[in-house]
């Protein structure tokens, strides 16, 4: 018998340490007990359930990844991976809430703040007592933001004045602050700022009408002569390189999202195929349905092997950016295929929220586009393997 009900046909997850396996089991229980019963309701209302934050605090997940001084735990990437995997099996939005707060906002502070600033912000972030967001993308485009950032900062006396717009900023409708990246009007250098909710000149509008990740709240941020003190500028950034380092760390997490989303869809489809009857048989008896399931299992198993090695490399300090991009491109694309097959196995029920698979099907579309679109990550890998850049 293949141990494949959860999509892990080669027992990759047996390779986790006891602590990693325990965290995976905790997140799995949390997702099934606390998130699954409410997620469809919140998803339908385009709302993130704030009550989950307090409940998630009890799991103490960020401290499995980060130390208070902003350094990473020795197995941070693997921990981040298994947390993401187990969350996405049930609900990708929950993983995105966590990923934005930990992998993007806390990471910006860990990599870009001075020691004093880290001591001020990180402990509360690790305890989920203050929630962060990450504001990089702009309405005019995400792919080119490293070259064409329009949001600006200007030194003004003992502070800074920010102007511009940011689009798609996850968590920003309820976060305590957003890390805003802006281009210095004078020097052109990219700088990071912690802009607290309620700061005059900072306004967030919730983006409505999404067809994917509807439980994530994404904001459109307007900065109009928004004044922040210099102590809210991240003091240890190295221009765009810091942004790039943050995105590099987060990209591995997004690769795991594709795997978790695909595994969740596979699990649901397998169970459905074993129950649903047509023509007097369970549909899992039909060869065409078995073909779908086997292709799906091959994909999720290969994807899981890929991201586990990716995180090992990251934790060993030997990961290069193109490896994270390759995993992101590959898992997002395979996930798209797996969720489409899963949705097909459900027939008409595949487009009903209550059967679960529809949410995986549409959420994949967001995974496909953020953290570098499929094309951009492809070009990053293409440049690495050919030595020729398509960007210039
Ligand atoms: P564009 O950059 O306009 O791209 C449009 C198309 O052109 C894409 O297919 C792209 O691949 C293609 N393209 C662009 N350049 C090239 C090229 N050189 N060669 C070939 N093709 C090219 N951003 C944040 O800062 N913070 C967040 O919290 C955040 N959360 C998000 C959550 C969701 C649900 C989504 C959908 C997005 C989020 N984003 C966030 C933004 C995300 O990172 C961007 O959507 C992404 O970078 C793509 O940018 P864009 O949407 O502006 O597409």
Per-residue pLDDT of 172-197, as tens digits, reads 999 999 999 999 999 999 999 999 99
Atom of ligand 1 nearest to the CA of 144: 2
Query: Which tokens is 220 given?
Result: 């459109």
- What pLDDT score was predicted for residue 147? 87
Quote the pLDDT of residue 68.
95
Whether the pLDDT of residue 237 is over 90: the answer is: yes
Question: Is-contact 90 97, C-beta < 8 A?
Answer: no
For residues 75 and 87, what is the distance between their CA atoms, to the nearest angstrom? 18
State the SS3 of the chain: CCCCCCCCCCCHHHHCCHHHHHHHHHHHHHHHHHHHHHHHHHHHCCCCCCHHHHHHHCCCCHHHCECCCCCECCCHHHHHHHHHHHHHHHCHHHHHHHHHHHHHHHHHHHHHCCHHHHHHHHHHHHCCCCCEEEECCECCECCCHHHHCCCEEEEECCEEEEEEEEEEEECCCCCCEEEEEEEECCCCCEEEEEEECCCCCEEEEECCCCCCCCCCCEEEEEEEEEEEEHHHECCCCCCHHHHHHHHHHHHHHHHHHHHHHHHHHHHHHHHHHHHCEECCEEHHHCHHHHHHHHHHHHHHHHHHHHHHHHHHHHHHCCCCHHHHHHHHHHHHHHHHHHHHHHHHHCHHHHHCHHHCHHHHHHHHHHHHHCCCCHHHHHHHHHHHHHCCCCCC
What are phi and psi for residue 207, nearest 5 degrees?
Answer: -80, 125
CB-CB contact of 84 with 28 (8 Å): no
Q: What are the pocket residues of ligand 1 if the criterion is a CB atom closer than 6 Å to any ligand atom?
A: 100, 134-137, 141-143, 168-170, 213, 218, 366, 369-370, 373, 375-376, 379
Ligand 1 atom with the smallest distance to the CA of 379 is 19
Q: Ligand 1 centroid to 207 CA: how many Å?
A: 15
Look at residue 391 in the predicted model and tell me its pLDDT: 87
Instruction: Label residue 148 by pLDDT band (50, 70, 90).
Output: confident
Spatial contact of 157 and 97, defined as CB atoms under 8 Å apart: no
- What is the pLDDT confidence band of residue 247, given thresholds at 50, 70 and 90? very high
Ranking 160-164, 181-185, 246-250 by mean pLDDT, the lowest is 246-250
**What pLDDT, on a 0 to 100 scale, did the predictor assign at position 206?**
98
The residue whose CA has the least distance to atom 14 of ligand 1 is 143
Among 99, 137, 206, residue to substitute to test ligand 1 (most atoms within 8 Å of Cβ): 137
Residue 339 Cα to ligand 1 midpoint, Å, equals 21
Mean pLDDT, the chain, as a whole number?
A: 97
Percent of the chain with pLDDT over 90: 96
- 125's tokens: 């972030």
- Band (pLDDT 50/70/90 cuts) for residue 287 is very high
Span 372-381, average pLDDT:
95
- Site to substitute for ligand 1 among 195, 217, 369, most atoms within 8 A of C-beta: 369
Q: What is the pLDDT of residue 172?
A: 98
Tell me the per-residue pLDDT of 291-332, one tens digit each, with 9 for 90 and over.
999 999 999 999 999 999 999 999 999 999 999 999 999 999
Query: What integer pLDDT is reported at residue 392 of this predicted model?
Result: 73
Q: Report pLDDT for 142.
A: 87
Of ligand 1's listed atoms, the one at least distance from the Cα of 138 is: 52
Query: Which protein residue's CA is at the shortest distance from atom 18 of ligand 1?
Result: 391
Residue 163 has pLDDT above 80, yes or no: yes
Distance of CA 56 to the CA centre of its chain: 16
C-alpha 30 to ligand 1 mean position (Å) = 31
Please report the atom of ligand 1 found closest to the CA of residue 100: 28
For residue range 46-96, list pLDDT tens digits in order. Answer: 999 999 999 999 999 999 999 999 999 999 999 999 999 999 999 999 999
Whether the predicted pLDDT of 146 surpasses 80: yes
Report how far ligand 1's centroid is from the alpha carbon of 384 (Å): 21
Do residues 308 and 15 lie in contact, with contact meaning Cβ atoms separated by under 8 Å? yes
Mean pLDDT for the stretch of residues 128-144: 95
Average pLDDT over residues 256-262: 98
Per-residue pLDDT, 144? 87
């Amino acid at each position: 018998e293949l141990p494949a009900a959860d999509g892990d046909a080669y027992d990759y997850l047996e390779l986790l340490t006891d602590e990693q396996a325990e965290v995976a089991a905790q997140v799995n229980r949390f997702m099934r007990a606390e998130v699954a019963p409410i997620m469809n309701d919140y998803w339908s209302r385009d709302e993130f359930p704030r009550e989950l934050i307090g409940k998630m605090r009890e799991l103490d997940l960020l401290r499995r990844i980060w130390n208070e001084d902003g350094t990473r735990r020795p197995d941070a990437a693997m921990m981040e991976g298994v947390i993401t995997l187990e969350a996405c099996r049930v609900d990708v939005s929950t993983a995105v809430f966590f990923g934005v707060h930990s992998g993007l906002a806390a990471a910006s502070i860990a990599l870009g703040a001075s020691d004093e600033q880290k001591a001020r912000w990180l402990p509360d972030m690790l305890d989920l007592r203050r929630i962060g967001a990450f504001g990089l993308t702009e309405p005019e485009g995400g792919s080119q933001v490293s070259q064409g950032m329009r949001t600006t900062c200007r030194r003004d006396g003992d502070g800074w004045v920010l102007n511009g717009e940011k689009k798609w900023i996850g968590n920003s409708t309820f976060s305590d602050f957003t890390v805003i990246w802006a281009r210095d009007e004078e020097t052109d250098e990219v700088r990071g700022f912690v802009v607290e909710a309620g700061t005059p000149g900072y306004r967030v509008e919730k983006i409505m009408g999404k067809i994917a990740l509807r439980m994530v709240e994404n904001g459109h941020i307007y900065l109009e002569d928004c004044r922040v003190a210099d102590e809210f500028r991240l003091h240890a950034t190295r221009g765009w390189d810091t942004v790039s380092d943050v995105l590099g760390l987060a990209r591995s997490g997004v690769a795991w999202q594709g795997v978790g989303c695909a595994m969740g869809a596979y699990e649901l489809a397998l169970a459905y195929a074993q129950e649903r009857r047509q023509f007097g048989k369970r549909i899992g008896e039909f060869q065409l349905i078995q073909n779908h399931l086997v292709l799906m299992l091959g994909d999720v198993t290969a994807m899981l092997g890929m991201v586990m090695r990716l995180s090992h490399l990251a934790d060993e300090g030997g990961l290069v950016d193109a490896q994270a991009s390759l995993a992101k491109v590959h898992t997002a694309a395979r996930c798209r295929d797996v969720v489409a097959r899963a949705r097909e196995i459900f027939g008409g029920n595949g487009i009903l929220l209550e059967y679960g698979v529809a949410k995986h099907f549409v959420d994949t579309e967001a995974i496909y586009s953020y953290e570098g679109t499929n094309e951009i990550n492809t070009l990053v890998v293409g440049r690495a393997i050919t030595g020729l850049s398509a960007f210039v």
